[in-house]
C-alpha cells in the first residue's frame, strides 16, 4: 500500500454531536440533599455536628456519605462522619485538604 492510498474508515458505532451541545455540569441524583447538607455544614459552629435522621435520606447512608465526601473535597472542606442505626452525624474538621 503506498502513501497515497487511504484506509477506509469503519462505520461509527456511536452518534456524534457538536461539542457546544455537550453538557458541562453534573447534576447527580444526590445533588439536592448534598447541597442542603453542605449549606448546613457551612453554618456549623466549632464543636457542633449535624444529626441527620437516616429515615429522611433519599438513599443509603453509605451512598449519601460517599457523595457528601466527594462534594466536600471539591469545595476543599474537611469533614468527618459517624453513624448509628438511626442517624448520620457530620461535622467540620481542621484537617487540611490537599
Examine residue 81 and state whether it is found in any structural domain, yes or no: yes
Assess contact for 49 and 37: CB atoms under 8 A.
no
Examine residue 97 and state whether it is found in any structural domain, yes or no: no
pLDDT 10s per residue in the chain (98 long)? 555 677 778 888 888 899 888 877 666 788 999 999 999 999 999 899 999 999 999 999 999 999 999 999 999 999 999 999 999 999 999 876 65
pLDDT value at position 8? 76
Cell readout for 43 is 453554618
pLDDT value at position 73? 94
The residue with cell 457528601 is 68
Examine residue 71 and state whether it is found in any structural domain, yes or no: yes
In angstroms, how far is CA 12 from the centroid of its own chain? 32
Assess contact for 52 and 90: CB atoms under 8 A.
yes
pLDDT value at position 26? 64
pLDDT value at position 97? 63
Q: Which domain holds residue 78?
A: 28-92
Examine residue 61 and state whether it is found in any structural domain, yes or no: yes
Assess contact for 94 and 87: CB atoms under 8 A.
no
Identify the CATH number of the domain in which residue 65 sits: 3.30.1370
Residues sharing a CB contact under 8 Å with residue 52, sequence separation 6 or more, in sequence order: 37, 87, 88, 89, 90
Number of domains, the chain:
1
Examine residue 2 and state whether it is found in any structural domain, yes or no: no
Examine residue 48 and state whether it is found in any structural domain, yes or no: yes
Amino acid at each position: 500500500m503506498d502513501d497515497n492510498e487511504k484506509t477506509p474508515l469503519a462505520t461509527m458505532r456511536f452518534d456524534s454531536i457538536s461539542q457546544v451541545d455537550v453538557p458541562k455540569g453534573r447534576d447527580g441524583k444526590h445533588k439536592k440533599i448534598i447541597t442542603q447538607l453542605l449549606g448546613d455544614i457551612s453554618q456549623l459552629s466549632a464543636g457542633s455536628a449535624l444529626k441527620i435522621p437516616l429515615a429522611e435520606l433519599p438513599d443509603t447512608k453509605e451512598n449519601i456519605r460517599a457523595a457528601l465526601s466527594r462534594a466536600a473535597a471539591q469545595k476543599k472542606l474537611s469533614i468527618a462522619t459517624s453513624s448509628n442505626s438511626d442517624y448520620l452525624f457530620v461535622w467540620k474538621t481542621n484537617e487540611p485538604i490537599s
